Amino acid sequence: MTTSPVARVGRYRWRVCAMLLLATTINYTDRQVLGVLAPFLQQSMGWSELQYSYIVTAFQTAYAIGLLGAGFIVDTFGTRIGYALSIGIWSLAAAGHALATGVVSFAAARFALGLGESGNFPAAIKAVAEWFPQRERALAAGIFNSGSNIGALVAPMLVPVVATRWGWQAAFLCTSVLSALWLVMWLSTYRTPGEQAKLSAAERAYIGHQPAVAVRVPWSQLLRHRQAWTLVAAKFITDPIWWFFLFWLPKFLHARYGLSLLELGLPLVVIFLMADLGSIAGGWLAGRFIRRGWSANHARKATMLICALLIMPVVFAARANHLWLAVALIGMATAGHQGWSANVYTLASDMFPRHAVASVVGMGGFAGAVGGMLISTVIGLLLQATGSYVPVFMLAGSAYLIALAVVHALAPRLQPVLLP
What does the pLDDT look like over 382-394, one tens digit per residue?
A: 888 888 899 999 9
Superfamily designation of domain 10-192+216-410: MFS general substrate transporter like domains (1.20.1250.20)
Q: 183: exposed, middle or buried (C-beta count within 10 Å: 0-12, 13-18, 19+)?
A: buried
Contact between 152 and 270 (Cβ < 8 Å)? no
pLDDT of residue 136: 84
Cα-based distances in Å from 45 to 60, 100, 155, 298:
22, 11, 21, 51
pLDDT: which is higher, 152 or 7: 152
User: pLDDT band for position 216 (50/70/90)?
Assistant: low
pLDDT: which is higher, 270 or 154: 270
Cα-based distances in Å from 5 to 2, 139, 194, 203:
9, 18, 21, 10
SS3 assignment, position 387:
coil
Q: For residue 54, which of 107, 116, 101, 118 has the smallest C-alpha distance?
A: 107
User: Rounded distance, CA 104 to CA 54, Å?
Assistant: 9
Question: Within 10 A of 62 (CB to CB), how many other CB atoms are there?
Answer: 23
User: Where is average pLDDT lowest: 7-11, 139-143, 183-187, 414-418?
Assistant: 7-11
**What is the tens place of the pLDDT at every residue in 24-52?**
999 888 888 888 888 888 888 888 888 88
Using CA atoms in the order 208, 209, 212, 215, what is the torsion angle rounded to 10 degrees?
Answer: 0
Question: Within 10 A of 211 (CB to CB), how many other CB atoms are there?
Answer: 8
The percent of residues above 70 in pLDDT, for the chain, comes to 96
Which pTM does this prediction carry? 0.74
- Is the confidence at residue 213, as pLDDT, over 70? no
Write down the domain spans for the chain. 10-192+216-410
pLDDT of residue 351: 93
User: pLDDT band for position 141 (50/70/90)?
Assistant: confident
Contact between 33 and 171 (Cβ < 8 Å)? yes
Question: Within 10 A of 257 (CB to CB), how many other CB atoms are there?
Answer: 16
